[in-house]
Amino acid sequence: MLKKLERSIPLTLLLIAAGFVAYGYLTSPLKITDFMIFCIFVLGFDLVYGHMGQLSFGHMLYLGAGAYGAALSATYWTPNPFLAIGNGILCATLVGALLGPILVRTSGAAFALLNLAFNQVGHFLVLVPLAPLTAGEDGLSLTFAHYGFANFSNLNFIFFFVLAVLLLIALLILKFDSSPFGLLLKSVKENEVRVRFLGYNTFLYKWITFVFSAAISGLAGALTAINYGYTNPSFIDPTRNVEVIFAALMGGAGRVLGAVLGGTAFMTISNYLARYILRWEMFLGFALLIIAFRFRKGIWGYLREL
């Protein structure tokens, strides 16, 4: 039944929408908006991890590029939130396009650590050389204009706007999965040498996928800046990469519903468990061990196999 659900794009999108609307009704739209933005970030990361088969330790760089692109646009150019989102996506896409040719030529530990190294460089640039623009450790406070009902200060509007964006990204990735490009990328993940032997330019396919992943991560960063109304170096902090990696592992790599489920589960644990247990991170460690030994395909992968 779950496999049939996963093959039906309308049902998949309906399940995601209904789940978040119900969750927002039970808790608060503000908190669930944050959850959905994180799920967008997990979907972007999973394009590299789940679809391309490469683990990145530096994807916070692209989320941070999107956040600071939106923040600098709103601070020094125009308070238009839609232009801020566009500039955030553009900044992250440019960073991904520039670094992609270097990164996608590597694999394994080299790919993971090079991403981490570039993330460290980006974090340093925000803190020191670009501090006159980014305000360094203090960060930037943001205000955005509103146009009629499009008011990002309104909790209900930003909730449904982010939900629509999440559904759009999920739709794009579902279409991507079933496209010839997506099928070829799965072949590259399984055996790149054979695909290259057939005459395909695997470097180009991996580069395009990496840039697409960076753009989605930048979109999540721009939405984070708008949702919080500020940016600071924590948005590009390399130590936070573990969050998106854990979420992808928890939900199940390579599946849209797995990424959404993992992102929601991680945010639920980190937001609610911390209220009652001081060292809640210990439980995340135990959860990761259980996933590694018992649920290697994540929660969604396990449910599909039942």
pLDDT digits (tens, 9 = 90+) for 28-75: 777 899 999 999 999 999 999 999 999 999 999 999 999 999 999 999
Quickly count: other Cβ atoms within 10 Å of residue 46's Cβ: 28
pLDDT value of position 129: 94
Ramachandran sector of residue 147 (left: φ over 0; alpha: ψ -120 to 50; beta: rest): beta
pLDDT value of position 287: 73
Q: CA distances (Å), 243 to each of 100, 159, 223, in order?
A: 22, 22, 18
The residue among 245, 254, 250 whose CA lies nearest residue 53 is 254
Intervals of the chain under pLDDT 70? 1-7, 292
> Three-state DSSP class for 140?
strand
pLDDT value of position 198: 87
What is the phi/psi pair of residue 28, to 5°? -150, 140
> Three-state DSSP class for 231?
strand
pLDDT value of position 216: 97
pLDDT value of position 46: 95
The residue among 286, 282, 285 whose CA lies nearest residue 274 is 282
Q: CA distances (Å), 97 to each of 179, 214, 245, 272, in order?
A: 22, 8, 22, 37
Summarize pLDDT for 64-106 with one digit per residue, the tens: 999 999 999 999 999 999 999 999 999 999 999 999 999 999 9
pLDDT value of position 83: 96
Residues sharing a CB contact under 8 Å with residue 189, sequence separation 6 or more, in sequence order: 51, 52, 53
Query: Per the structure block, which two tokens stand in for 1?
Result: 């039944």
pLDDT value of position 60: 97
pLDDT value of position 212: 97
